[in-house]
C-alpha cells in the first residue's frame, strides 16, 4: 500500500494542528511510514472558518457529515478530535465496525467508556491509538507501551493538568488568591470559562485512568479514582508550604501496592527540590518509576494545537506503519496481548498512608496547642513540625503542622473532632504531603 488515507472528525484546535503537522512534515512522514499519509476528508460542523492552514481542494476534503468519512471505503484510519461523549463514541464504534483504525485524543471518552471501546477495537481487529489523550505532546503513552514495556510500573506521579499548574504557579509566584488568578487566566484565554473540570481534578483523573489502564493492563474508569482539586488552596497554605520546604501541585498519583493500586488526584505538597516541584506554568510532567529502569521523567506542553497535533500524528504514523506492513495482529489498545487476569483493585482513600499538612485556625489562648495535639495523639497521629505565627490582628491565628505518616481515616476523624473544639474558629485545611517516598 503506497498511500494511507485518513479522515479527521473535528477541525478545531487539535484537528487543525494535526492537519498542519501532516502537511508541513509530509516528506519526512512519508519516509518514516514508507507510504504517503493523505488526509482524504475532514468533517466539522463549521467548514467555513479559516483555521490558518490551507485545505485544498476544500470542496472535496471538507464535509459537515462525519458519516462521509466513516462510510468511505477508501479511508483506512479515522482520527476523532471532536470531543464530547455520546456522538464521539458512536462515530468511533461505527468506524471500527467498518474496519477502520482509530486515533483519538478524547480523554473523557476513554476514561469513561474505555473498556467498551478497547473491546470493540479488538473484536473488529483494528488499531486504536490514544497518545494525545494524555499530556498533549508528551509521548508518555508511547513510553509506557514501548520504552518501559520490560518493567513493572511501580509509581506514576503526574502534573497532568496545565490549567491548574498555571494557576498554582501564579498563586505561588505572585501571592494571589485562587479566584483572582482564575479570572485573569480566563480573561487572557489561558483557561476555560469556567475551568471547572480542570481545577476540580476531573481532567487529571481522566488522564490518570488512561495511564493506569495502559501501565497495568486493564481498563479503569476515572470514577473509581478519588479526586480533589485546587479550589481550596490559599496563598497562606502556599506560604506555609514554602516555610516547610514544599510547593503545592495538583498531582495525579498511581502506586502499585502489590494486591491493590493507590490511585488519586489531589493538591499535594512536594519537596521544593523535587523535579516535579519545578514544573511550572502550563507545563505537564509525568514521573514514572519502573522496577528495572528506576526513575524516569517526561516533561512538555500538555495542550495546544502544535504539541497535541504532534501526538496525534505520532499515532497516525504508528498505525500507518502497521497498516502498510500488513501486520496480521495489531497491538491491542492497552498494549497487553493477554488481558490481565484480575481486575485492578483501587485502594479506598481511607486506607491511604501518607504524611499530612494541617492548618488550624484557632484562638490564641493557653492550652490550644495541647488540646489539638492531644486529639491527634488519640488517633495515633504523630507531629513532625509545627509553626505558629504571632498574632498581628485580633482573632484566630494559624497553627500549622506537618505530621509523620498517618492513615487517612485517622486523619479525617481527628480533624472532625478538632473542628468541634470551641477554640477552633474555622474548618481545618488538610493537604497531603508527598514526602521522601517520591
Q: How far is the CB of 43 from ligand HSE (least distance, A)?
A: 22
Measure the CA–CA gap between 308 and 11, rounded to whole angstroms.
13
Print burial letters for 73-91: b (CB count within 10 Å at least 16), e (below 16): eebbbbbbbbbeeeebbeb
Site for ligand HSE in 301-330 (CB under 6 A): 302-303
Q: Which of 89, 100, 207, 249 is catalytic?
A: 207
CA 332 to chain centre: 22
10 is in an annotated binding site: yes
Determine whether 129 is exposed, middle or buried from the number of CB atoms within 10 Å of its CB (0-12, 13-18, 19+).
Answer: buried
Q: Which is nearer to ligand HSE, 128 or 250 (CB)?
A: 250
Q: How far is the CB of 172 from ligand HSE (least distance, A)?
A: 17
**Does 96 sit near ligand HSE (CB under 6 A)?**
no
Dihedral pair phi/psi, residue 247, rounded to 5°:
-120, 155
| Number of residues forming the site for ligand HSE (CB under 6 A) | 7
Measure the CA–CA gap between 65 and 317, rounded to whole angstroms.
25
Q: Which is nearer to ligand HSE, 10 or 162 (CB)?
A: 162
Measure the CA–CA gap between 295 and 65, rounded to whole angstroms.
46
Quickly list DSSP for 82-101: ---SHHHHHHHHHHHHTT-E
Site for ligand HSE in 174-203 (CB under 6 A): 198, 203
- Residue 243 neighbours by CB under 8 Å, 6+ apart: 387
289 is in an annotated binding site: no
Q: How far is the CB of 151 from ligand HSE (least distance, A)?
A: 26
255 is in an annotated binding site: no
Confirm whether 207 is a catalytic residue.
Answer: yes
Site for ligand HSE in 140-169 (CB under 6 A): 161-163
Q: Which is nearer to ligand HSE, 203 or 408 (CB)?
A: 203
11 is in an annotated binding site: yes
Q: How far is the CB of 139 from ligand HSE (least distance, A)?
A: 15
Answer whether 385's CB lies under 8 Å from 400's CB: no
Q: How far is the CB of 11 from ligand HSE (least distance, A)?
A: 17
Measure the CA–CA gap between 25 and 20, rounded to whole angstroms.
8
Q: Which is nearer to ligand HSE, 192 or 405 (CB)?
A: 192
Catalog residues that contact ligand HSE under the rule CB under 6 A.
161-163, 198, 203, 302-303
Q: Please report, in range form, the residues annotated as the binding site for NADPH.
A: 107
| Active centre residues (catalytic) | 207
Amino acid at each position: 500500500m503506497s498511500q494511507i488515507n485518513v479522515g479527521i472528525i473535528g477541525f478545531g484546535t487539535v484537528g487543525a494542528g494535526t492537519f498542519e503537522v501532516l502537511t508541513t512534515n509530509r516528506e519526512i512522514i512519508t519516509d518514516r511510514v514508507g507510504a504517503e499519509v493523505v488526509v482524504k476528508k475532514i468533517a466539522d460542523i463549521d467548514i467555513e472558518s479559516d483555521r490558518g492552514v490551507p485545505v485544498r481542494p476544500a470542496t472535496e476534503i471538507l464535509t459537515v457529515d462525519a458519516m462521509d468519512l466513516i462510510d468511505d471505503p477508501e479511508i483506512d484510519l479515522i482520527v476523532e478530535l471532536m470531543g464530547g461523549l455520546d456522538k464521539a463514541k458512536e462515530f468511533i464504534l461505527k468506524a471500527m465496525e467498518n474496519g477502520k483504525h482509530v486515533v483519538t485524543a478524547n480523554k473523557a471518552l476513554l476514561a469513561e467508556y474505555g473498556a467498551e471501546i478497547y473491546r470493540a477495537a479488538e473484536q473488529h481487529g483494528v488499531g486504536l491509538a490514544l497518545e494525545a489523550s494524555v499530556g498533549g505532546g508528551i509521548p508518555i503513552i508511547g513510553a509506557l507501551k514501548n520504552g518501559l514495556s520490560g518493567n513493572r510500573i511501580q509509581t506514576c506521579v503526574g502534573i497532568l493538568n496545565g490549567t491548574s499548574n498555571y494557576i498554582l504557579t501564579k498563586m505561588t509566584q505572585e501571592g494571589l488568591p485562587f479566584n483572582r488568578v482564575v479570572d485573569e487566566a480566563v480573561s487572557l484565554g489561558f483557561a476555560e470559562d469556567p475551568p471547572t473540570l480542570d481545577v476540580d481534578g476531573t481532567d487529571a483523573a481522566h488522564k490518570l485512568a488512561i495511564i493506569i489502564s495502559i501501565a497495568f493492563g486493564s481498563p479503569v474508569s476515572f470514577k473509581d479514582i478519588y479526586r480533589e482539586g485546587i479550589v481550596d488552596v490559599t496563598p497562606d497554605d502556599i506560604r506555609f508550604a514554602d516555610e516547610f520546604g514544599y510547593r503545592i501541585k495538583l498531582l495525579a498519583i498511581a502506586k502499585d501496592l502489590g494486591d491493590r493500586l493507590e490511585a488519586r488526584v489531589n493538591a499535594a505538597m512536594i519537596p521544593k527540590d523535587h523535579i516535579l516541584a519545578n514544573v511550572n506554568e502550563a507545563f505537564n510532567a509525568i514521573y514514572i518509576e519502573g522496577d528495572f529502569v528506576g526513575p524516569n521523567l517526561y516533561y512538555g506542553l500538555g495542550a495546544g494545537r502544535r504539541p497535541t497535533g504532534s501526538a496525534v500524528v505520532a499515532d497516525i504514523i504508528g498505525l500507518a506503519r502497521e497498516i502498510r506492513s500488513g501486520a496480521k495482529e495489531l497491538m491491542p489498545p492497552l498494549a497487553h496481548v493477554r488481558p490481565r487476569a484480575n481486575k485492578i483493585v483501587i485502594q479506598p482513600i481511607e486506607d491511604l498512608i501518607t504524611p499530612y499538612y494541617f492548618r488550624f485556625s484557632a484562638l490564641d489562648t493557653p492550652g490550644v496547642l495541647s488540646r489539638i495535639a492531644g486529639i491527634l495523639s488519640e488517633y495515633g497521629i504523630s507531629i513532625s513540625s509545627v509553626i505558629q505565627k504571632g498574632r498581628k490582628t485580633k482573632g484566630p491565628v494559624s497553627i500549622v503542622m506537618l505530621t509523620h505518616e498517618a492513615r487517612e481515616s485517622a486523619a479525617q476523624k481527628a480533624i472532625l473532632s478538632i473542628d468541634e473544639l470551641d477554640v477552633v474558629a474555622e474548618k481545618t485545611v488538610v493537604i497531603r504531603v508527598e514526602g521522601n517516598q517520591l
